[in-house]
């Protein structure tokens, strides 16, 4: 039985992975002079802010002014979200959340992104009304692939772990969902890079396919 559906955001609700990457690259270059490529930063997909910054310091031992870099990154990202053709709901998301709402199934966003970014996305895409709550990576001790963020979302939803279904597009996200004891739908998103989502209970190439898996058709 589907008691609740928990959505990752980046790469599931919006194709923001390329935007996040571009903004991070611009912020690093502006603050440190280090020029990186999307390939060099592919490991950041699905990881929390604290883990990303810790590893950046290890890989590039320069004097990071983290708050300054982060502020620049957010400014660059918000500009991209206001102008990029990618800043729209991923195909199939609107019919899915509308069908879930019609069935009275609660939905949550559980994302490693900060609350300010999640708020920006939900407001820009006019999706806030569909989600009962938000859980962010900043609120838990360990980021994905640890299960913490999904356990927090389930606790706030008041749902049993086995009744929760998660939609994820990354290896870290799928691993976290399964570690939490939840069902997981793995979404192959080409913009999320090479992600191993084979551990998911079901794997889809289009969000519309989740309708049948979740019992929303017919």
Query: Distance (Å, rounded) from C-alpha 82 to C-alpha 105?
Result: 31
**Cβ 197 vs Cβ 83: under 8 Å:** no
Closest Cα partner for 159 from 180, 138, 187, 178? 180
Closest Cα partner for 46 from 150, 202, 164? 150
Which of 8, 15, 148, 169 does the annotation list as catalytic?
8
Catalytic annotation present for 196: no
Phi, psi of 124 (to 5 degrees): -65, -40
Which of 10, 15, 148, 169 does the annotation list as catalytic?
10
CB contact set of 155 (below 8 Å; sequence gap of 6+): none
Q: What is the DSSP letter of 148?
A: H
Query: Distance (Å, rounded) from C-alpha 50 to C-alpha 97?
Result: 30
Catalytic annotation present for 10: yes
Active-site positions read: 8, 10
């Amino acid at each position: 039985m589907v008691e609740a559906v928990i959505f990752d955001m980046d790469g599931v609700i919006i194709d923001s992975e390329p935007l996040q990457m571009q903004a991070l690259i611009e912020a690093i270059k502006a603050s440190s002079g280090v020029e990186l490529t999307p390939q060099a930063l592919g490991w950041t997909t699905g990881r929390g802010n604290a883990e990303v910054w810790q590893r950046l310091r290890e890989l590039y031992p320069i004097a990071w002014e983290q708050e300054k870099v982060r502020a620049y990154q957010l400014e660059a990202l918000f500009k991209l979200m206001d102008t990029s053709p990618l800043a729209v709901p991923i195909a199939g998301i609107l019919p899915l959340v509308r069908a879930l709402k019609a069935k009275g199934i609660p939905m949550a966003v559980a994302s490693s992104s900060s609350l300010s970014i999640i708020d920006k996305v939900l407001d820009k895409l006019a999706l806030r009304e569909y989600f009962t709550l938000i859980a962010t990576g900043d609120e838990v001790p360990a980021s994905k692939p640890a299960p913490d963020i999904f356990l927090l979302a389930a606790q706030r939803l008041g749902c049993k772990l086995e009744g929760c279904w998660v939609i994820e597009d990354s290896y870290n996200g799928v691993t976290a969902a399964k570690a939490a004891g939840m069902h997981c739908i793995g979404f192959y998103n080409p913009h999320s890079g090479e992600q191993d989502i084979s551990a998911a209970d079901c794997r889809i190439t289009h969000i519309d396919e989740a309708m049948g898996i979740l019992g929303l058709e017919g």
